[in-house]
Structures are given as C-alpha cells and as structure tokens.
Amino acid sequence: MGNVYPFPGATSSPQIGFTRAELKRIIDLYGRMVAAGQWRDYAIEFGRDHAAFWAFRRTAERPEYKIEKRPGLRHRQGMWALIGENGIVLRRGHELGPVLAPVERRLLKVVAG
C-alpha cells in the first residue's frame, strides 16, 4: 500500500456538512420547486463552522433562499436557519422540517393556484 499525503494547504480542522437524510430532505424540496417552475439552480457550501444550500430563481441572480446549518448554535437558537433573498433570517430552529415549512407552504400555493 502507498502512503496517503494531505493536499498542500489543506487544514486539519473538520468541515461541517449535511447528513444524508438532511440533504435528501433539502434536495427533495428543491426538486419539487424546480418542477413547479420556481427554482432553476442551486449551490452548496461546506465550511468550518457552517454548511449552506442556496436556491436560485435564475443563475445570474442572488439566491432566493439560503438554508444554513450552524452546529455551533445548536444549544442556543437552533442550528438551522432559512435566510431570505435580502439576508434576513426568516425562520430559525432546532429541526429542519419546521425551518423549511414557509417554503413548502409557498409550494402548495403555487400548485393550487
């Protein structure tokens, strides 16, 4: 077996990510919004202190929503946040489901209308 060497410039601190179940829930919502014609693109960021999923109406615009996971806030206001296009926190909580509720409610209005 060969030796494994770290990538030059890589830090040894772990990065935050989404679990398989969390990412499945987010991608499922994204797929339903794409099918409804609301979203067209997304981006994912993994950092040392947070992980984020951005949903875009169009690729060239600012993200309409940002779903953010910050485990450092787990014991305070909750590690999940839904952030709007203007940067205002729309919903914060300890569980992903209630944080995504405003977007899912909007999806029901789009389908019903």
Could you tell me if residue 65 is inside a domain? Answer: yes
Could you tell me if residue 76 is inside a domain? Answer: yes
pLDDT tens digits for range 76-97: 888 999 998 888 999 999 999 8
What's the chain's average pLDDT? 85
Q: Which domain holds residue 57?
A: 20-112
pLDDT at 30: 92
Could you tell me if residue 24 is inside a domain? Answer: yes
Query: What is the pTM assigned to this prediction?
Result: 0.78
pLDDT at 13: 65
Total number of domains constituting the chain: 1
Q: Per-residue confidence at 61, pLDDT binned at 50, 70, 90?
A: confident
Q: Which residues of 30-55 are buried (b: 16+ CB within 10 A; e: fewer)?
A: bebbeeeebbeebeeeeeeebbbbbb
How many separate helices (H) and strands (E) can be counted in the chain? 2, 5
Lowest mean pLDDT among 10-14, 22-26, 36-40, 102-106: 10-14
Could you tell me if residue 15 is inside a domain? Answer: no
